[in-house]
Amino acid sequence: ALLCAAAAEGRAMAALRPARRALLPPLCRAFAGPSYQLASERAAERRDAASGRVSGFCPPRISCHDWIGPPDKHSNLRPIHFYVPENESPLEQKLRKLRQETQEWNQQFWANQNLTFRKEKEEFIHSRLKAKGLELRAGSGQKATLDAEEMADFYKEFLSKNFLKHMYYNRDWYKRNFAITFFMGKVALERVWNKLRPKPKTTST
């Protein structure tokens, strides 16, 4: 429960949070990903908009599944709130950590990419307009823009500038994607196996 409060620290939600905290039993901690853990509270703080957004979202306690959120406004990726079951096996934990880490890595890459794109685009427009002798805002107050043909130079330059970055990203993404899927398969098999195998005899007195 404290963890949900930690997550909402930066927000003026004082009135709301304690009440909700009282309602949602400590099982809420079960839904905590690393961004909510006390240990990485400070880590969450140093996350700026570009690298990660700390959402105050806490899934309802009766849910035993992951929850997926709306697309992040910088990276356009949807964050997932991972469910931590009580009897999580080491394999499941490994999978969850891999997914969490990949999510953060992806978030960082795309948020950075999109922000850089936006910024460089603005700069390009600005410099072109200046070269043309136009103001950024025309007399009517409307923002002056370049048309697609003029922007084409920028698009080409941006793409080639980031080519190597994308190569590395692609390679890593494919590796991670395969690894995650592979572990998902292993976890699924493990679960099936646990269900099917004869239960170990519990000594009852």
Select the residue interacting with other proteins from 140, 148, 203, 205 (CB under 8 A): 148
Which lies closer to other proteins via its Cβ, residue 26 or residue 185? Answer: 185
Q: Identify the CA nearest to 187 among candidates 40, 83, 109.
A: 83
Q: Kindly report the CA angle at 169 between 50 and 148, in degrees rounded to 5?
A: 70
Report d(CA 187, CA 90) in Å as an integer. 10
E runs forming strands in the chain:
67-68, 80-81
Q: How far is the CB of 129 from other proteins (least distance, A)?
A: 18
Q: What is the DSSP letter of 143?
A: B
Q: Are 75 and 115 in contact (CB under 8 A)?
A: no
Q: Does 159 bind other proteins (CB under 8 A)?
A: yes
Q: Does 51 bind other proteins (CB under 8 A)?
A: no
- Residues of this chain that interact with other proteins (CB under 8 A) are 11-16, 19, 22-23, 55-57, 59-60, 62-63, 65-71, 75-78, 80-81, 106, 110, 113-114, 117, 148-149, 151-152, 154-156, 158-160, 162-163, 165-167, 169-170, 173-174, 177, 180-181, 184-185, 188
